[in-house]
Amino acid sequence: MTPAGDRPQYATGTIPSLDGIRAIAVALVFFAHSGFEKLIPGGLGVTIFFVLSGYLITTLMRIEHAHSGAIGYRSFYLRRLLRLMPPLLIVVAAAGLLAALSIVDGGFTPGGMFSALFYFGNYYAIAHDYHGMPAGIGVIWSLAIEEHYYLFYPPLAALLLRVGRVGLSVTVLAMLCAAVLAWRYWLVFHGASEAYLTMATDTRVDAILVGCLMALLCNPWLDPVPAPNALNDWGIAAVCVAVLIGTLLYRDEVFRLTARYTLQSLAIAPLVYLAVARADRLPFRWLNARPLVYIGTISYTIYLSHHVILLGLAKHWPQLSWIWLTLVGAVLTLAVAEPMRRWVEQPCARLRKRLHRKTLARKTAPDFLSVGAP
């Protein structure tokens, strides 16, 4: 692993391009849910979030371990709690109220509420087909996968960082990814449901692990990067985009439930690498445009709330065309996300930074990784 002192000079502050990537991911999910699902791959947006999450969390851990020689678990989990739980509590409460007032369909059962707040909503949704939840709140299935990763990955990361052998770390993570892929194949040929294959932690966590692998092997924020080579960079980007398009066009059912997720994750990771390493160059400079950065900063609340809003609009104004549904839904979603950013997320971010400084009485990296879930 590259020591902290050997990091590139720019490895401080906010990592470029990542908010823009978040904006793309949440836009894919939003437009798929607003009626463009036949044209817009919402599931790909979730996979992007997964890869990004693995990369960001592992980068944060690398920085902390380089400074202190250890991972502060208490500090890590407090920061995750403050980042993820306050918006989730508010959106879950609001969705429950809207369901009670019949503004959206469905409603919380005790089990549905418990699963939403304690991060096993994916397995609950698989078992109950979203019954027991207000319409639209089922997007929490992906949050559950990320939370399970947050719970179980830090000890493994600490061990890999302590050993300090990149080859071993890459081998371990690659074997885990291969095991998840093999598990998906086994489940497909033994009658597992599509819901289980697409939403279970044990079938989807490999996308997050691909991001972890990149953060340990060739981290564009912490490790030296090759000099810009337009032909090489554009070639890599073109191949990755072609792979992503191919995974969307090839409709074989077994492929869609198995290798598709692996190939998409492996294609997304180099694009993230290039977006960070070449943030000031085409074709990635636009990811740092102010509108995209803004959407990226509020992407967590957009993800949590947008489907409830869209389904509520569709219920009461079924005559709305998909264009108007999209426009009105976007306005209402932003109207929810901006106050959440200002009055909930920003104060929590300041508290996370204070806790980080107080908990770790040693030199640590700045808490610049505003990791969100989807």
All residue ranges of the chain with pLDDT < 70 are 1-13, 356-374
Reported as a single tens digit per residue, the pLDDT across 313-348 is: 999 999 999 999 999 999 999 999 999 999 999 999
Segment (H or E) for 78 = helix 73-100
Segment (H or E) for 183 = helix 166-188
Structure tokens at 8: 């590139």
Reported as a single tens digit per residue, the pLDDT across 145-166 is: 999 999 999 999 999 999 988 9
Q: What is the DSSP code (8-state) at residue 107?
A: -
d(CA 328, CA 319): 13
d(CA 229, CA 308): 45
> What secondary structure, in 3-state letters, does 27-72 show?
HHHHHHHHHHCCCCCHHHHHHHHHHHHHHHHHHHHHHHHHHHCCCC
Instruction: Find tokens 């953060």 and name the residue.
Output: 215
Q: What is the CA radius of gyration of the chain?
A: 20
Among 226, 204, 210, 180, smallest CA distance to 270 is for 210
- Say which residues have a Cβ less than 8 Å from residue 10's Cβ, sequence separation at least 6: none
Phi, psi of 16 (to 5 degrees): -70, 155
Query: What pLDDT is recorded for position 2?
Result: 39
